[in-house]
Amino acid sequence: MNIVQYPHPSLRYQARPVTRVDDALRSAASRMLGLMYEAKGVGLAATQVALPWRMFVYNPAADPSKPELERVILNPVILEKKGSLDESEGCLSFPGLYQKVRRAKAVKVRYHTLEGSMEELEVADFVSRIFQHETDHLSGILFVDKLGPIGRLSARPALARMEAEFREAQSRGEIAPDAELVRRIDEIASGGAVSP
Ligand SMILES: [Zn+2]
């Protein structure tokens, strides 16, 4: 498992609802937390590790020594949004790119836990931003889709560079062609094994 970078097609995948919590899912969640901490991130969505499930992990402290703050979120739904806040945002699939994104200041969310319970929660500010950013990922929506005209313009060179590097890696055979990458995710979604 590794964190995929833009424009890997998994980042545009429509993740499927989690219908069963089994050892494979628990193990995927724990590996995602490990990768997130390694990359010093605060959140990581399943589509960022080429898995097709509506699942993300987060820890607002980005600190593995604070496991009491880490959460595994399944099937998140944003029920209500309140207010708005412009803050700088980044993404582990876009290393080095930070742009201001307008998000709701507070959201009411509903999700399942790994233990199988359904929770409802109101979160604000930074954690609200994490929920919105990660829930977007599960619908194939990326933070660069949310930029205003100025942000879009200033992000353009970085995005063009990432696209060129990804396509070059594909032409060197280091990354599989898009169709093959999508086929692998589809296979996992249709009940195939989770890749190691
Ligand atoms: Zn992200």
Cα-to-centroid distance, 100 and ligand 1 (Å) = 14
Q: Per-residue pLDDT tens for 14-33?
A: 999 999 999 999 999 999 99
State percent of the chain over pLDDT 70: 97
Burial of 41 (0-12, 13-18, 19+ CB in 10 A): buried
Give the per-residue pLDDT at 193.
55
Tokens encoding 176 = 């599989």
Give the per-residue pLDDT at 192.
59
Rg (CA), the chain: 16
Cα-to-centroid distance, 93 and ligand 1 (Å) = 6
Give the per-residue pLDDT at 191.
81
Give the per-residue pLDDT at 196.
40
Give the per-residue pLDDT at 194.
53
Cα-to-centroid distance, 174 and ligand 1 (Å) = 23
Cα-to-centroid distance, 137 and ligand 1 (Å) = 7
| Catalytic (active-site) positions | 134
Domain annotation for the chain: domains and CATH numbers: 9-162+178-189 (3.90.45.10)
Where does the pLDDT of residue 110 fall: very low under 50, low under 70, confident under 90, or very high at 90 and above? very high
Over 50: is that where the pLDDT of 170 sits?
yes
Give the per-residue pLDDT at 151.
93
Average pLDDT over residues 155-163: 98
pTM score of the predicted model: 0.95
Q: Per-residue pLDDT tens for 79-96?
A: 999 999 999 999 999 999
Cα-to-centroid distance, 141 and ligand 1 (Å) = 9
Cα-to-centroid distance, 149 and ligand 1 (Å) = 20
